[in-house]
Amino acid sequence: MNPFYWDEYSEDTIKYMMEIEGRYDRFKYSFELSSSPKDDRLKFVQMIICLGYEAYRMESTTVHIAVNILDRFFITQMSEKVGHQECLAACLASLVIAIKLEEGRKLSTNDLCHQVLYACSAHEVSQMELHILCALKFEIIVATTAGFCEFFKRGIVQDQNTLDVIDFLCDLSLYSYELLSHNPSQIAACVIWIGLCSSNRDWDEDMAILTGYSRYDLTPCSEIFQELVCHTFRAIKQKPLLQVYPRMSEIMACLKQIMQA
């Protein structure tokens, strides 16, 4: 989210984001290209994160918006068979839409296709961009976990170690199929809570008021994060985050200690 909006219109912005975050169901997947929707989604989220962070140095909110748009687009295609070529074009088109929306810059579709070794054409990406916008009825202003995290950070003492844990978990949440059943604000609040725990602090009344969530409300998300961190964090998921989080091994060690406590 543009810092200007947080500085000048933070209360109005967060109120609006909380109002719209529940409008769109991101959980009801039915398309299957492999053994399960989880596996399918993971591949495409992985691609968005790799391209967004490594190839184009996008802001975290932009990457989160792209994943959100992709999730919602796939939901609109539930009654249709979605081919691999269409899914790939949708990934690239989601990045194009997100960066225009959030950062005001335009990606070259030819360069995007080069990044994926021309597995799809620039024409296919451009056509898919329009297809996504029409399928979503041009409703692309979305609430994201990254956006809520930026707002919730204002309520904590921001030492670098805590911020690193928060930012890492925020991005890690994109990989979880199960977290799609929770609102982005709830996921963001849980991320902040775990970040506070990493610096021996806890959730207090002020944070509950700021976020609208008590520790009890955050328990379901924390259990998913425990699984994500301690059991399902495989090598395939680490690569795109290595460049963004050079201290990842330290962060993971800290998180495992917290989750197993």
The answer as to whether 3 is a domain residue is no
Domain residues for the domain of 83 are 24-135
Last residue of a domain, one of 100, 135, 170: 135
173 and 233 assigned to the same domain: yes
Which pLDDT score is estimated for 112?
86
127 and 198 assigned to the same domain: no
59 and 125 assigned to the same domain: yes
pLDDT tens figures, 217-248: 998 998 898 888 776 555 445 556 655 666 67
- Tokens coding 56: 């184009």
170 and 255 assigned to the same domain: yes
CA distance 140 to 153: 24
102 and 198 assigned to the same domain: no
Which pLDDT score is estimated for 236?
45
The DSSP secondary structure of 104-121, one letter per residue, reads: -----HHHHHHHTTTSS-
178 and 108 assigned to the same domain: no
- Tokens coding 95: 């990045």
CATH of residue 31:
1.10.472.10
113 and 42 assigned to the same domain: yes
The answer as to whether 2 is a domain residue is no
pLDDT tens figures, 180-225: 889 999 999 999 999 998 888 888 898 998 899 998 999 899 889 8
Last residue of a domain, one of 86, 102, 135: 135
30 and 80 assigned to the same domain: yes
Residues across the chain: 261
**Other CB atoms within 10 A of residue 237 CB:** 17
125 and 164 assigned to the same domain: no
Structural domains counted in the chain: 2
Longest Cα–Cα distance of the chain, Å, equals 52
97 and 150 assigned to the same domain: no
Chain mean pLDDT for the chain? 82
Nearest to 258 by CA among 217, 213, 228: 228
The answer as to whether 244 is a domain residue is yes
The answer as to whether 67 is a domain residue is yes
Which pLDDT score is estimated for 27?
65
Which pLDDT score is estimated for 4?
47
The answer as to whether 195 is a domain residue is yes
128 and 163 assigned to the same domain: no
Which pLDDT score is estimated for 13?
75
The answer as to whether 5 is a domain residue is no
158 and 243 assigned to the same domain: yes
The answer as to whether 12 is a domain residue is no
Q: Mean pLDDT by 10-residue block, N- to C-terminus, for the chain (261 residues)? A: 53 77 68 61 87 90 93 79 83 95 89 86 94 90 89 86 90 88 93 90 89 91 84 55 64 72 58
CA angle in degrees (0–180, nearest 5) for 172-180-184: 75
Last residue of a domain, one of 103, 135, 167: 135
The answer as to whether 228 is a domain residue is yes
CA distance 248 to 42: 20
Which pLDDT score is estimated for 221?
92
